[in-house]
Structure formats: structure tokens, C-alpha cells
Amino acid sequence: MASIRELPKSGVSRFERIGAHTHIKGLGLDEKLKAVKIRDGMVGQEKAREAAEYLRKYEERMMVH
């Protein structure tokens, strides 16, 4: 049977939040709405970025109607 043990305390006593993702300017899509591997501060996740744009456009259309 597995046992549970306490982890030793580390020297880090506080967590500092840095303004992450301030470098992101968009989804990194080209004029045909296809994701570019590295663009606008985005790297990778091409299919997810294309899907996010699709959903954004869908929501935008739904708000108009």
C-alpha cells in the first residue's frame, strides 16, 4: 500500500504574480484565418486558436441577431 509523507518546506515563502501574457496581441491568425506557428505573441496550439476565432465570430453574429 502507498504511503503519504509530508514534503519538506522550501525556501520560497511568497508568491509573486507577474503580468503574464501582456505580450499577446491577438490569436496569431493570417488573413485566411489560419493560425501561424508563431505570431502575435502566440506559439503553438494552432487548431485551438482557429477554433477560438470561429467561436468569437459565431458569438459576434449571435449578438447582432
14-49 per-position pLDDT tens digit: 656 656 656 778 899 999 999 999 988 888 899 999
Distances (CA, A) of 4 to 8, 10, 34, 59: 13, 18, 48, 47
* End-to-end Cα distance, the chain: 60
Whether the model clears a pTM of 0.85, i.e. scores above it, the answer is: no
Domain limits of the chain?
26-65
